[in-house]
Amino acid sequence: METLSQNRSHGGTQGVYRHAAAATGTDMTFAVFVPDHAPGAKLPVLWYLSGLTCTHANVMEKGEYRAACAKHGVIFIAPDTSPRGDDVPDDEAYDFGKGAGFYLDATQEPWAQHYRMRAYIEDELPALIAERFPADMARQGITGHSMGGHGALTIALRNPARFRSVSAFAPICAPSQVPWGEKAFRRYLGENRDAWAEHDAVALIKGGARLTDLLVDQGSADAFLDEQLGTPLLAAACEAAAIPATIRMQEGYDHSYYFISTFMADHIAWHAARLG
């Protein structure tokens, strides 16, 4: 693991790191904020998965999470959204290819070799975090924005014993039923919609997956709300499955980091209460 930068902030250390990832066959960059802590102490972990077109840097520079993480003693981890490199296939569209890995393992060519973000986020990067940082991996939470909210929900639903807390900002709730998800799933996973279900939060809940509780914030002025995000479908699925879900419609807020940064401290406090 190579240290690219480290900066003091809010009584902690904001670092950016790079390593050779076996899952993707590429170098991967990620950001970690570690609050100051007693020697030998282990801190709870909050994963943040970013959305379309983003890298680790978007939330690091605009998410305004460090003060709240320092206050509550929570490590904040921000991975990249896709593999990178000259040998990695890409697409001209913003919503597919680099910056748009959708947190799945592709099965279709030419994407299958490198686009294995599910294996990277669920297995490889957690092992590295456990080895190299003062992380208590028995106390993990996960959150994310848009495509990353989709990732947070589906990863948590598939791994209920791993995550004590789950939240999301404007997540793609039912990607099998919206243009963003249909495009990505068809090209990454093929035409068999049964293979799509394990990457769709609403489908997973309908199939029996459960969360202890859930916090979602969604802006009412989000330009993607009606066509791409499917928030009412998630609310209905949670209600039918008796999942305690707090889904807050935030009046006048859009899809940007102005929205995310406004409610980031709320989410971190919510996670901290569940992570101990």
Catalytic: which of 146, 165, 217, 267? 146
Which position among 105, 200, 217, 222 bears the catalytic label? 222
The CA–CA distances, whole Å, from 91 to 94, 101, 109, 184, 228 equal 8, 12, 13, 11, 20
Q: Is there a catalytic annotation at residue 146? A: yes
Give me the pLDDT at residue 121, please: 97
pLDDT along the chain (276 residues), means of 10: 97 98 98 95 98 97 98 98 96 96 97 97 98 98 98 97 97 97 97 95 97 97 96 97 97 98 98 96
CATH number of this structure's domain 2-275? 3.40.50.1820
Long-range contacts of 206-210 (CB under 8 A, 24+ apart): 206/237, 206/240, 206/241, 209/157, 209/158, 209/160, 210/157, 210/160, 210/241, 210/243
Question: What pLDDT is attached to residue 65?
Answer: 98
Per-residue pLDDT at 74: 98
- Residue listed under structure tokens 């509550």: 72
- Does residue 255 carry a catalytic annotation? yes
